[in-house]
C-alpha cells in the first residue's frame, strides 16, 4: 500500500496563499497543511480550516521569519535588533553551537506557536518547520520535547531521496544551478539529521517513511509531480508543496515563491494528476493515517 500525504506549507502567510491552499484541497489532491502561528493571515487560515474538516492541519514551526509569538523579552536570543527572527537557519545553528541560543528560549517560542494554534480548537496533526528549522541540530531535540508535552503525535522527517533530478533540470535548463543547490541542501539536511532518527522513535513521534519536495521547490509543475507519483515507494510518504495565488501581499513578504505557487496549484488540481493517482493505486491521506516512525 502506498500512502501519500500532500502537505502545503505556509498556511497563514497571506490571504492569497490561504485561498490557494483551500482550493488545492477542495478541487485537488492536497490533504494536509501547516499553519504559521505568526503569519499575517493566521486568523483567515483558522476560519478556512474550520470549513474543511477533511484537511489535516499541523504547525509550521518558524524561527526565521517575522516576529515571535512569545514575549520578545523572553526569547531575545532568537531576535535581531528590530525584534524580528534571524532570517538564516545557518545563523541559528551558529548561535546554538556557540552557546548563544539557549534551548529554553527555543522551547518557549515553539511552545507558544503550538499553543496558539491549539487554542483555536484545531486538532494539530503534526509539526514541520519553515526552512526545515525543526530538523536542525540543537533544535530537533527541543522540537521532540515540545511535541511530547503538547501531545503532537507526528512530525515531518525531511530526509529526501528525490527522483528525476536530471529530468527536472532538462525541463528547466536555466535553473540548473538552483536545482542542484536545492539537491545539495537536501543532502546537508539529511546529514544533519543523521543520528536523530532513534530519538524520534524513542519519543513515540510518528513520521512518514519517505519525503519529497525540497529539490522540486519552485519547480513543482504537473510533470515533476507525475515523476514523484511514478516513483512513489511502498509505505507512507509526504510531498511538500507551496500552492497559492500571486499578488502584491505575497510579493511583499519577501518569499522567492510567488508566481510558482500558481503553477503548483495548477498541478495539484490537474484532472490528469488525479487520474494518475487512481491508476497507480495511491491512497491520499493526511497525517492522521501516517504509519509509526521506523
pLDDT of 107-140, one tens digit each? 999 999 999 999 999 999 999 999 999 998 889 9
Q: Using H for helix, E for strand and C for coil, what is the string for the chain? A: CEEEEEEEEEECCCHHHHHHHHHHHHCCCCCEEEECCCCCCHHHHHHHHHCCCCCEEEEEECCCCCCCCCCHHHCHHHECCCCCECCCHHHHHHHHHCCCCCHHHHHHHHHHHHHHHHCCCCCCCCEEEHHHHHHCCCCHHHHHHHHHHHCCCEECCCCECCCCHHHHHHHCHHHHHHHHHHHHHHHHHHHHHCCCHHHHHHCCCECCCEEECCCCCCCCCHHHHHHHHHCCCCEEEEEEECCCCCCHHHHHCCCCCCHHHHHHHHHHCCHHHHHHHHHHCEEEECHHHCCCCC
Do the domain assignments include residue 180?
yes
Do the domain assignments include residue 264?
yes
What is the count of structural domains for the chain? 1
Do the domain assignments include residue 215?
yes
Q: What confidence tier does 252 reach under pLDDT thresholds 50, 70, 90? A: confident
Domain that holds residue 114: 2-289
CATH number at residue 126: 3.20.20.370
pLDDT of 73-116, one tens digit each? 999 999 999 999 988 888 888 888 888 889 999 999 999 999 99
Do the domain assignments include residue 167?
yes
Do the domain assignments include residue 13?
yes
Do the domain assignments include residue 294?
no
Enter the pTM of the model.
0.94
Do the domain assignments include residue 61?
yes
pLDDT at 291: 52
Do the domain assignments include residue 142?
yes
Amino acid at each position: 500500500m502506498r500512502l501519500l500525504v500532500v502537505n502545503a506549507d505556509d498556511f497563514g502567510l497571506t490571504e492569497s496563499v490561504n485561498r490557494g491552499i483551500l482550493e488545492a484541497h477542495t478541487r485537488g489532491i492536497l490533504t494536509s497543511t501547516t499553519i504559521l502561528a505568526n503569519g499575517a493571515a493566521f486568523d483567515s487560515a483558522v476560519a478556512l480550516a474550520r470549513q474543511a474538516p477533511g484537511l489535516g492541519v499541523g504547525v509550521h514551526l518558524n524561527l526565521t521569519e517575522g516576529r515571535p509569538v512569545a514575549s520578545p523579552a523572553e526569547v531575545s536570543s532568537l531576535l535581531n535588533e528590530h525584534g524580528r527572527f534571524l532570517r538564516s537557519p545557518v545563523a541559528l545553528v551558529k548561535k546554538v553551537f556557540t552557546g548563544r541560543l539557549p534551548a529554553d528560549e527555543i522551547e518557549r517560542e515553539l511552545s507558544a506557536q503550538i499553543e496558539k494554534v491549539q487554542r483555536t480548537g484545531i486538532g494539530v496533526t503534526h509539526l514541520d518547520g519553515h526552512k526545515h528549522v525543526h530538523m536542525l541540530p540543537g533544535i530537533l531535540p527541543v522540537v521532540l520535547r515540545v511535541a511530547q508535552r503538547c501531545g503532537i503525535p507526528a512530525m515531518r522527517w525531511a530526509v529526501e531521496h528525490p527522483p528525476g533530478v536530471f529530468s527536472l533540470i532538462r525541463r528547466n535548463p536555466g535553473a540548473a544551478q538552483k536545482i542542484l543547490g536545492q539537491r545539495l541542501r537536501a543532502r546537508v539536511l539529511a546529514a544533519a539529521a543523521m543520528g536523530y532518527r532513534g530519538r524520534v522513535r524513542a519519543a513515540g513521534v510518528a513520521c512518514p517513511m519517505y519525503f519529497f519536495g525540497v529539490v522540486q521547490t519552485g519547480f513543482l509543475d504537473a510533470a515533476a509531480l507525475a515523476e514523484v507519483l511514478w516513483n512513489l515507494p511502498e509505505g507512507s510518504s509526504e510531498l511538500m508543496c507551496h500552492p497559492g495565488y500571486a499578488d502584491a501581499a505575497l510579493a511583499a513578504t519577501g518569499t522567492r515563491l510567488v508566481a510558482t505557487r500558481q503553477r503548483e496549484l495548477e498541478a495539484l488540481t490537474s484532472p490528469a494528476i488525479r487520474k494518475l493517482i487512481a491508476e497507480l493505486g495511491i491512497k491520499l491521506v493526511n497525517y492522521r493515517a501516517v504509519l509509526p516512525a521506523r
